[in-house]
Amino acid sequence: MKFKHGYVFIPLVVILVALIGGAFTSNGMDWLKNELFKPQYMPPNWVFGLAWNLIFLCVAISAIIAWGKMMGKTKLVKGAYTVIYLLVLNAVLNVGWCYMFFQAHLLLPSLIEMVVLQVTNILLMISLWKFSKVSSLLFLPYVLWLFVAFYLNYMFYQLN
């Protein structure tokens, strides 16, 4: 059996994104808890950890499946670079949102950035569909969670 670099590289990138975003988030939790007015609907803290762990797991599995489908005999198949660019952009936007919201306390810019992040998720689902329907559908938890996150970000912006 041939060693597949994607099986190691993809989870490492996903873990790195989660760790960097998590560091920004952890550093901003006191600000969130102590200085902001909270929305009326706010999920319990444990929901956030569960949601993001599930999302990162789904993204890693999706990317691994897609990588296997996008590899041709000697090069990536048509459309693969679009998926790769969107995945990289998605990772940067994910970390960027954590920084803007939790570290820089930029409520409106982080809200706008979240819209761009959601667009990349939807474009990823569309781009992945032709390679693997399962890979595409694994982004659904991320898309759904970002609607919740958008609501919360919007309410923090409105209340503060």
What global pTM score does this model have?
0.93
Is the pLDDT score of 73 beyond 70?
A: no
| CA–CA gap between residue 39 and residue 24 (Å, rounded) | 21
The answer on pLDDT for 75 being more than 80 is no
Q: Please write the tens of the pLDDT for every residue from 82-129.
A: 999 999 999 999 999 999 999 999 999 999 999 999 999 999 999 999
Q: List the one residue out of 25, 23, 154, 21 whose CA is nearest residue 102.
A: 25
pLDDT digits (tens, 9 = 90+) for 7-61: 889 999 999 999 999 999 999 999 999 999 999 999 999 999 999 999 999 999 9
DSSP annotation of 99 reads: I
Domain limits of the chain?
6-159
Is domain 6-159 given the CATH code 3.40.140.80 in the classification?
no
**Rounded to whole angstroms, how far apart are CA atoms 58 and 44?**
22
Bridge partners of 76? 71
